[in-house]
Chains A and B, each alone.
Chain A
């Protein structure tokens, strides 16, 4: 753990490298949040799947507004 390592790594990551990850990764993660949190609850894109039943306790205990 030398000072040189610290100095080099404290440089911000270049935005050109970071931005595509933030946009694509962010969208992917928000989609995941949607399916775990909202699908078949407040909104429904798919139907007929017992997603709501299966995820019931988790949604309550993670604090998502539920029925």
Chain B
């Protein structure tokens, strides 16, 4: 049964990845292009090429055209990321299902996807918002990646433990109150992490605020579309799989 769920998670992730690609292409690329245009005119350290705006870090690296980056390259990322996240969600689903208050497979998958978006993307992005090209000091990429990863892990850990705490409380104080306590615990833990972790702000002073806003809204929307697609598609597939083999275990 877990194997069947896992395969469906991969499939749901791939489909959601295609949807997220269409969304990112439509709503994300304009802001990304504007950011690259700004970066090209205020080149500080690295450029995206002189004439064709091809991204060039090492100088010797083979150039990949902007069209490829915004097309098949972008699709590769959203689809492979979707597959990975869909696979992970299906494994968490296999563990959680039947251990939480009585909601069906679709409800469980949808709630899991929502919890994943909150803890993997939204809460870390409030502390360390996504950076468009031209924002971010190349020398601090290692440091920034580490603190971002710490924020993500703390946030996921806070989500998992608050769900676990609320689950054990629900039998005594009810589903609603148990969920409230869990939510409060999550907010407190991530708020403490937000205060303790170092601040990073390396947005160039003259970077256009509107472009930055558009880019960050686009990134969060792409992530939301991806998780929503995974949760809803996987939920439907899982429901069918579980209905077709009710006593497989």
In the assembled complex, the CB of A33 is this many whole angstroms from the nearest CB of chain B, namely: 5
Q: Are B145 and A54 in contact (CB under 8 A)?
A: no
Q: Are B141 and A5 in contact (CB under 8 A)?
A: no
Q: Are B148 and A18 in contact (CB under 8 A)?
A: no
- Residue numbers of A with Cβ under 8 A of B are 1, 4-6, 8-15, 17-18, 21-22, 25-26, 28-30, 32-33, 35-38, 41-42, 50, 52-67
Asked, given contacts A63-B125, A65-B136, whether A10 binds B98 with beta carbons under 8 Å apart, the answer is: yes
In the assembled complex, the CB of A20 is this many whole angstroms from the nearest CB of chain B, namely: 8
**A-facing residues in B44-91 (Cβ within 8 Å):** 46, 54-57, 61-64, 68-70, 73-78, 80-81, 83-85, 87-88, 91
Q: Which residues in B have their C-beta under 8 angstroms from that of A60? A: 28, 32, 130-133, 215, 219
Among B99, B121, B215, chain A packs the most CB atoms within 10 A around the CB of: B99
In the assembled complex, the CB of A46 is this many whole angstroms from the nearest CB of chain B, namely: 13
Asked, given contacts A29-B84, A60-B130, A62-B78, whether A13 binds B64 with beta carbons under 8 Å apart, the answer is: no
B198 at the interface (CB under 8 A from A): no
- Selected A-B contacts with CB under 8 Å, 13 pairs: A6-B104, A13-B98, A28-B87, A36-B76, A36-B80, A53-B55, A53-B57, A53-B61, A53-B63, A53-B73, A54-B76, A57-B32, A67-B57
Query: Interface residues of A: mostly helix, strand, loop or mixed?
Result: helix
Q: Are A9 and B242 in contact (CB under 8 A)?
A: yes
Tell which of A13, A58, A66 touches B73, judged by Cβ atoms closer than 8 Å.
A58
Q: Which residues in B have their C-beta under 8 angstroms from that of A25? A: 6, 87-88, 91
In the assembled complex, the CB of B202 is this many whole angstroms from the nearest CB of chain A, namely: 11
Q: Are A13 and B94 in contact (CB under 8 A)?
A: yes
Q: Are B3 and A55 in contact (CB under 8 A)?
A: no
Tell which of B1, B77, B95 touches A59, judged by Cβ atoms closer than 8 Å.
B77
For B1, the closest partner residue in chain A by CB is: A13
B38 at the interface (CB under 8 A from A): no
Asked, given contacts A58-B76, A66-B131, whether A33 binds B6 with beta carbons under 8 Å apart, the answer is: no
For A33, the closest partner residue in chain B by CB is: B84
Q: Are B28 and A61 in contact (CB under 8 A)?
A: yes
Give the 3 A-B CB pairs with smallest separation, nearest first: A58-B77, A12-B98, A53-B64
**Mask: chain B, 209-220; 1 = CB below 8 Å from A; 0 = not:** 000000100111
Q: Are B141 and A65 in contact (CB under 8 A)?
A: yes
Cα separation A25 to B96 with both chains bound (whole Å): 16
Q: Are B62 and A10 in contact (CB under 8 A)?
A: no
Cα separation A35 to B87 with both chains bound (whole Å): 16
Q: Which residues in A have their C-beta under 8 angstroms from that of B56? A: 53
For A50, the closest partner residue in chain B by CB is: B62
Cα separation A32 to B6 with both chains bound (whole Å): 15
Cα separation A17 to B6 with both chains bound (whole Å): 13
Q: Which residues in B have their C-beta under 8 angstroms from that of A58? A: 24, 69, 73-78, 81
Q: Are B97 and A12 in contact (CB under 8 A)?
A: yes
Q: Are B249 and A17 in contact (CB under 8 A)?
A: yes
Cα separation A9 to B125 with both chains bound (whole Å): 37
